[in-house]
């Protein structure tokens, strides 16, 4: 019998709590913007946080991901020892139309 993998979302703002100022501040850092651009091309169910290569240490990566999560740009869930990140497209489109992800790459777009 295989062990059951627990999935738990990490704390994040609700859709109505997402503020454009925080989203823009989070995306204002080149490392975080790189991460979000790569995540925009990932499958909708998300990817493990360490899969996207970043030019920073593990602790700095964690810091950047926390800022993105607290701003409402990404959602993260724990799957065992892994953290899975997903872009919050629907929430961003609904709460901050000026930052619409309509023009961001989608996983199904050709390269």
7-94, CATH topology level: Arc Repressor Mutant, subunit A (1.10.10)
Question: Looking up tokens 């493990």, which residue turns up?
Answer: 48
What is the residue extent of each domain of the chain?
Answer: 7-94
Cβ neighbourhood burial of 75 (10 Å; 0-12, 13-18, 19+) = middle
State pTM to two decimals: 0.81
pLDDT digits (tens, 9 = 90+) for 24-70: 999 999 999 999 999 988 898 999 999 999 999 999 999 999 999 99
Confidence band for 104, pLDDT divided at 50, 70 and 90? low
> What is the pLDDT at residue 2?
42
100 pLDDT more than 70:
no
Say if residues 56 and 93 touch (Cβ distance below 8 Å): no
98 pLDDT more than 70:
no
């Amino acid at each position: 019998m295989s062990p059951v993998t627990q999935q738990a979302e990490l704390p994040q703002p609700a859709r109505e709590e997402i503020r454009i100022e925080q989203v823009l501040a989070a995306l204002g850092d080149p490392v975080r913007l790189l991460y979000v651009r790569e995540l925009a091309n990932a499958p909708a169910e998300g990817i493990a946080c360490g899969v996207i290569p970043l030019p920073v240490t593990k602790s700095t990566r964690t810091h950047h991901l926390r800022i993105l999560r607290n701003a409402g740009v990404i959602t993260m869930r724990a799957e065992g020892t892994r953290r899975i990140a997903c872009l919050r497209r629907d929430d961003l489109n609904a709460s901050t139309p000026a930052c619409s992800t309509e023009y961001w790459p989608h996983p199904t777009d050709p390269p």
